[in-house]
Amino acid sequence: MEKEVLIIGGGVIGLSIGREVRKRGVKRINIIEAGECGGEASWAAAGMLGPQAEADEAGAFFEFCIESRGLYPSLANELLDETGTDVELDRAGTLYLAFSDDDVRILRQRFQWQNEAGLAVEHLDASEVRRAEPFVSPDVREALYFPNDWQVDNRKLCTALRQYCEINGIEITERTRVDRLITDQGRITGVRAGGVSYMADQVIIAAGAWTTQILFGEKRIPLKVVPVRGQMLAFHTAKRLFERVIYSSGGYIVPRRDGRILAGSTTEEAGFDRETTDSAAAALFEMACVIAPSLGNLEIADHWAGLRPRSPDGFPVIGRIEGIDGLYLATGHYRNGILLAPATAQIVAADIVEGKPSGYAAVFSPDRFHLGAIRTGN
């Protein structure tokens, strides 16, 4: 019998999984999306592919991030061929600026361990930074340059992934919220959404910050994936002022091809509220002006918020729950879901289609949170 796969959530994770499962030969795939595909965190993100700029130490999570980043050049080319959409993978690299003694100390530590690990990282003094990026503040003391930390236009990425799905016969059901999983003798056999039952051999939850709102029987899945709000500003310029993504300890700016300069971000526990606030706009404006004072002269073109999905330990939750057939989780990507989408999709598809569990299975398994209660119904 041909396998039927149902994916709950059409963000970057759900869409990427749909594409990868299709590529491995599954023909019957349905993505059920509560709103519009790519309309939540995946739309709000900054699109940075920056594991080296963000990491304080090596480890399995860091390796996974590096692996996923490495998939982007071929993904961008394939999506262009498959859909005609350019996802604007920008490989100019990322600068991390130091303004204070603390920043300098952290930067030097990061340079040392990444250099020792054989990763591409360069140390720049203040004059080299200002030569590379003339609009950076004269207060900058030094910087690290990560040539392989890139950026992608996350909104175009979701558009391209969605186009791939449409072109390749993946059914997309939008404005339809999955309320509960259908169980039959301990196995998940489908979902209920808007009063309709959708049956499937394999259900994948890729519902981001809303993961735990989906009912399992009469209860919520006992996994605390919580929403963490992030707000962003966009400045508008007629011409591009910066070449690279620029980080500081206070936040980051991301220059886009269309002239916008994104400035992010806040990290707030505000439940499912994704309203923007004046205080966050002021803080982001100030942070951006520390990086580059001339940003203060630009018009603010936009201000938005999105909800990052954070698991209890901050790492992704990818895999089956032991003892429950027919269900797979791909959630909790927190600050790195755009970066991690290609590698996540590959390990999910390899596991469910080809029965090849990934080496990361133990690290990201839902079972690390001891979800036994879901099995027993307790």
DSSP annotation of 227 reads: E
Among 48, 204, 343, 352, binds ligand FAD (CB under 6 A): 48
Kindly report the number of other CB atoms within 10 A of residue 113's CB atom: 14
- The reply to whether 140 sits near ligand FAD by the rule CB under 6 A is no
Eight-state DSSP code of residue 90: B
> Residue from 264, 319, 326, 342 that binds ligand FAD (CB under 6 A)?
264
From 6, 17, 46, 288, residue interacting with ligand GLY (rule: CB under 6 A)? 46
Rounded Cα distance, 115 and 113, in Å:
5
- Name the residue nearer to ligand GLY (CB basis): 148 or 189: 148
- How is residue 305 written in tokens? 């918020």
Stretch that binds ligand FAD, among 83-91, 138-146, 333-341, 365-373 (CB under 6 A): 333-341
CA angle 225, 226, 231 (to 5 degrees): 135
Specify the 3-state DSSP secondary structure of 104: helix
- Closest separation in Å from C-beta 6 to ligand GLY: 28
**Residue 245 in contact with residue 149, Cβ under 8 Å?**
yes
Of the candidate residues 264, 309, 316, 366, the single one contacting ligand GLY (CB under 6 A): 264
Report in angstroms how near the CB of residue 67 gets to ligand GLY at its nearest: 17
Cα distance between residue 308 and residue 305, in whole Å:
10
68 binds ligand GLY (CB under 6 A): no
The letter for the amino acid at 47 is G
Name the nearest CA neighbour of 172 among 352, 10, 27, 348.
Answer: 10
Segment 55 to 94, residues that bind ligand FAD, using CB under 6 A:
none
Dist. CA 47–CA 36, nearest whole Å: 19
Q: Measured from the CB of residue 205, what is the shortest distance to ligand GLY in angstroms?
A: 21
Q: Given candidates 306, 319, 326, 342, which one binds ligand FAD under the rule CB under 6 A?
A: 306
Sign of the dihedral defined by the CA atoms of residues 265, 347, 318, 6, in that order: positive
Per-residue mark of binding to ligand GLY, 1-30 (x: CB under 6 A): ------------------------------
Per-position x/- string for 223-242, each x denoting binding to ligand GLY as judged by CB under 6 A, each - no binding: -------x------------
- Cβ proximity to ligand GLY: between 265 and 365 the closer is 265
* Options 5, 6, 7, 10; binder of ligand FAD; rule CB under 6 A: 10
The nearer residue to ligand FAD, 30 or 85, going by C-beta atoms, is: 30
Asked if 333 is part of the footprint of ligand FAD (rule: CB under 6 A), the reply reads yes
For residue 8, the minimal CB distance to ligand FAD (Å) is: 5
Binding track over 301-340 against ligand GLY, x by CB under 6 A = -------x--------------------------x-----
CA dist 33 and 7 (Å) reads: 9
When CB distances are held under 5 to 8 angstroms depending on the partner's kind, the choice from ligand FAD, ligand GLY, none that residue 156 binds is: none
Order of strands, sheet of 142-146, starting from the edge strand that comes earlier in the sequence:
122-125, 142-146, 94-98, 245-248, 251-255, 260-264, 226-236, 299-310
* One-character DSSP codes across 246-300: EEETTEEEEE-TTSEEEEE---B--TT-----HHHHHHHHHHHHHH-GGGGGSEE
Region of 65 on the Ramachandran plot (φ > 0 left; ψ -120 to 50 alpha; else beta): alpha
Distance CA 221, CA 206 (A): 13
**Minimum gap (Å) between residue 109 Cβ and ligand GLY:** 20
Kindly tell me which residue out of 287, 291, 318, 339 binds ligand FAD, with binding defined by CB under 6 A.
Answer: 339
Least Å from the CB of residue 262 to ligand GLY: 10
Instruction: Give buried/exposed letters for 79-99 (b at 16+ CB in 10 A, else e).
Output: beebbebebbbbeebbbbbbb
Nearer to ligand GLY, 46 or 79 (CB): 46
The residue ranges that bind ligand FAD (CB under 6 A) are: 8-14, 32-35, 39-42, 44-48, 177-178, 206-210, 214, 230, 232, 264-265, 306, 308-309, 331, 333-339
Q: Which residues are at the interface with ligand GLY (CB under 6 A)?
A: 46, 48, 230, 264-265, 308, 335
